[in-house]
Chain A
């Protein structure tokens, strides 16, 4: 394939195959993949010191956030730059309930429900537009929530809400980082199994049909608007779960968890990893969190290096790191052909 062919392929952002996320080979493959990935990360993490364990837990939380954002970007082709809104709603739900004596996993469910409801309400407005307008609208909506935190004293403004207890789950105190990491691992793994299941359902197929060609999808009888709304609610709910875990991890919530740069970070994670592979955003989230942590320690302006890497990936490798094996195989094949 020549370079120009490769770029025309990307005109519609089409992945190289028609099936959404090819993993129907074996019904158990998905859950096993999830448990293996999250388990591996956590087992490695548990061997490390508690500050690294903290970092790895953050990375796992961002895996879920990036995967939720990719429901819109990679699955359905909806470019939302405002998913931090739902992440933040989840986080603030936990923060506002800090004095109530509720089990932490129930708070996770509560945060997910609240985030999902807000996403549902907003989606009715948001799906009236598409493309760049959708991107702008989602961003602006997220920013409104961010501004609200300055106006409503209960939300703490710039100082945020400190003193969130991690609580106990099944008789285990979560204030110890190891048990908290396992708690996060279990919840994220459950969410990813659900997402994987949905990705391979008829709903998942409908989202990719809409991403590839909304007009054709509508002609085939797919209710485009409904699927878009459902995808938006799904993404918001999953982002809400990630937000609740983030609040419990930090034990403080600030309005930075609503800020639009966080939405942007999630988009970068999706892109670095690869939007058109199911696992791409997870890889991206791990790489991003690690790189961000490293750059922050080394440089005064980490955003410069992060941005440059992001820009290069957009220009050179739009299919992301997950597409790298295929890309390399292609190059090798071409080399061989020219050698013959």
Chain B
């Protein structure tokens, strides 16, 4: 059912078995999974069915270094569907090594194993509409897809790992009719969670408190409350709920908001392939179930251990857009159109270092002298992206000269001084706003450097080609735009020890067993992978756990009765 918050009286207390706060990737998939299992589920959303600037403004906060991190109201959405309304759709599971305590990665190790989460990746793929859960390029295609490089063979560097692309699916729009038809799920929009009320003994969550923009306040009491509000809003809610525990909920040991990670990302160097251009496969394949898939360069787990590096992938990419020497009409066109592209997708085109009329002119020259590039690109883009329901995931240009850059996406070491905290500023509901202080480590750059060197060695050893990059500018290349936007990881990390973690392996807050977090906020480490697929897998695992816990409780109560 979808019910209007208008029908809830000021001061009312709603009852439910499970109250899920947030309708993004985690919240919606958890609600769908709990459907038909015998529980009354309340799915609460602060925003509306569409973008609303007044609601989105509630996400505003401070960033310590604006060059290093995007504003807090970017790359996330306070609306039905959450940030899946704007995500890019890239899916791949976290790797087994991500779950291990690696002695060369401080603060690494999950309280659950890859095997614990593995059964949930297939249903997560399904909910996100990324097709079958097949991430091995040698098995995913029929007929088989060509290799990334003909003649390349390496134990260290894998090229058969895939990323698969969601439509990208907006979880709100996609599953609205299913949620509306369900009699055991009630969706309520325009209801902002503004606080969490513990029992006086601090051992249990009593109610979650909600407010509307027109001044109504009400509460929800549920056997289980799930915060599915993302990696930034979740610590804000926990820290701001400080009436019983003065440091905020789950924060006795000052861990909430810490260990905040994004990804280290950027375009680096020049990869040159020997031989004809058809030796390289740099674009997308389409799997039989219709999914855009793409290979990536990825160090094997054994190689990561040997090189003592974090997890990282690299994709074949076109040359740097901002540098007009690529003489490509499409790239120059994109550069010139950068102000018309949304903040989230245009950020990396707006380079702060180079400006001026000469640069603009050089790009215009590229467009004028390569008119065919631009027109065929625009036609393809219109047909396969703008008008298509399953969108062509990114720009792929014809390979004319066997030269690429590498697009890097790398794990960063979790560190306690990288954090989200509260400020003295208040939002419209009187809740403290957040300040983000994102930090990275030298070792994060070393991960990229060593991995790129391994890629270069493997290319040379097999005679495929080479990869050259400037070690001295690597850090600058990777940090030019700061942290990769939208991947908010680690702020309520899971673990066994309450001194270094906020939630347990099931996502329940230490010491508050009926309060859960379903979000990338619980990931102790950030992997090479984009977080969404693993967020959903994790949420499905939690749904399974909560279903079991509630069923056991109900049975126990029946026995007592």
A, B bound: no
